[in-house]
Amino acid sequence: MSDATNRLPYCFFSSFSGLKTPLLFIFALVNLFFSNTSIAQETNSPLSFYGIGEINTEGTAINAVSGGLGVANSNGIYINNLNPATLARNRYTVFEMGVNMEGKAMQNNERRSNTFGGALAPITLAFPMSPKWSMSLSLRPVSGITYGTFSSHKLKITGEDSIITTYSGSGGLNKAVISNGYRVSKDMYLGLETGLLFGVINKDISTQNLTDNQSYLVKLADRSNYSGFQWKLGYLWRPKISKNYFLNIGATAELSQNVNVTRSIEIQTYSSSGISKLNADTLYRNPDLTTTLPSTYRIGVALERPGKLNVSLDYSMTKWNEFKNTEGKNDNLSNSYKVAIGAEYIPDFEALNGYFKHVMYRAGASYTQTPYSYANGAKLNDMNISVGASFPLRNISYLNLSLVAGKRGTLATNGVEEQYTKIVIGFTLGDFYWFRKPKID
């Protein structure tokens, strides 16, 4: 946490046993990379129908508990996925992973529904390459599609025959990332993130004729496979402004990118149970489509007293007016922005005893104008507060817990309201001995 962490020696693997955790990480990364399923399975969300689905934060449990901020935050222990420039302050190997759990209550003027779900948080391994250069490998959920609704109507006014139509979406996008952070001078850091985007999005419409003799199900299956690259530039300036305090100013830029899409539409016939496929015909297939993803810009400022206190403020903007789907349409998405504030406090990081003196306590809040709007033109806004802490395990390892409570939209303004509670559990696992200079007798 303190600058003393930056004086830890860097090195290469000292023994085969030291490779155990990095190799397990690489194995898990490859296994997930070649999986066809998304690692971002969330609660039911009708808004995920638009664009590429609901966007997931790239941050960890530590970012979540501080209002989702972190562009200017770096303490040399945890990994900051939001700004690659901050990696240069990590002087030893750290592995981070976690899970997000969310309970959600959605309501309009007629009904209310409750759902619960979960998703993997980003999985990241960071390690030093030289005294000024650190690198990380990461697998991150980018977006998730999870919605489902249905309608029914009678075939005859006086009859019992009816048709049920179901609209459902699943899948999402993920990103395999290589990030580099380099210390240019005493106070300045630069970073570059290269990401390989991949994933599948399914949007299906199913119709079932509920008659005595014809209870089969017909599905129009729309499947899109995404692949492409994304880049992010990062900057951090960290001058010392007094005996005990540093001023951190960070910024990132992720430019608009075109990604490749292979889209196919099939008409499929199933048995009444919807399990056994009886027939399938391809109506459309095009492997040469593209989708234009929006650019995102972030800036943050933090006042830091190493090993004691950090107070931060972030602002980010995503230009969703740049988004174009495979049909060249924008899905009526507008530019969004987010403002977040957060703080971290440690009672006494250098204390020789007293477990809770080493706990990192955090709190934060954020306000987001989402890219979604309703027929009356009213924007859908998101507000939340968060609290949590990082509990020491051993060496430089921590259990990170955060609780986030928020609300998106209001019944009076939008006609719909969504209240949610998230619990984020993460692990920061570091070891002084994964990378070190070998001793010569």
How far out from the chain centre does Cα 195 lie?
Answer: 13
- In angstroms, the CA 206 to CA 163 distance is 10
pLDDT at 13 over 80: no
What is the average pLDDT value for the chain, to the nearest integer?
Answer: 85
> Which of 203, 128, 124, 139 has its CA nearest to residue 166?
203
> Which of 111, 39, 59, 45 has its CA nearest to residue 372?
45
Strand partners, 315: 299, 339
- In angstroms, the CA 149 to CA 152 distance is 11
Q: Strand 147-154 relative to strand 162-183: parallel, antiparallel, unpaired?
A: antiparallel
What DSSP string describes 334-384? Answer: --EEEEEEEEEE-S-TT-SS-GGGS-EEEEEEEEEEEEEE-TT--EEEEEE
* First-to-final CA distance of the chain: 32
pLDDT at 414 over 90: no
Cα→Cα distances 355→177, 236, 346, 413, Å: 35, 32, 11, 48
Whether 408 contacts 415, CB under 8 Å? no
Q: Identify which has the larger pLDDT, 395 or 8.
A: 395
Answer positive or negative: Cα dihedral of 326, 331, 332, 334: negative
Task: Express each pLDDT in 223-253 by its tens digit.
Answer: 999 999 999 999 999 999 999 999 999 999 9
Both tokens of residue 214? 């014809």
Q: DSSP 3-state assignment of 86?
A: helix
372-410 as b/e: b if 16+ CB within 10 A? beeeeeeebbbebebbbbbebeeebbbbbbbebebebbe
pLDDT at 439 over 70: no
Sorted by where each starts, the structural domains of the chain and their CATH numbers stand as: 3-430 (2.40.160)
pLDDT at 270 over 70: yes
Please count the other Cβ atoms lying within 10 Å of the Cβ belonging to residue 117: 16
Percent of the chain with pLDDT over 90: 63
Q: State the pLDDT at residue 378.
A: 82
Task: Express each pLDDT in 158-183 by its tens digit.
Answer: 556 678 889 999 999 999 999 999 99
Task: Express each pLDDT in 360-384 by its tens digit.
Answer: 999 999 999 999 987 677 888 999 9
Q: Identify which has the larger pLDDT, 159 or 207.
A: 207
Mean pLDDT value of segment 45-73: 90
Percent of the chain with pLDDT over 70: 84
262 pLDDT band (50/70/90 cuts)? very high
10 pLDDT band (50/70/90 cuts)? very low
Cα→Cα distances 107→45, 111, 250, Å: 12, 6, 39
- In angstroms, the CA 401 to CA 403 distance is 7
Task: Express each pLDDT in 278-293 by its tens digit.
Answer: 888 999 999 999 999 9
pLDDT at 53 over 70: yes
- In angstroms, the CA 206 to CA 226 distance is 23
> Tell me, what amino acid is at 260?
N
Least confident of 72-86, 121-135, 423-437: 423-437
Please count the other Cβ atoms lying within 10 Å of the Cβ belonging to residue 327: 9
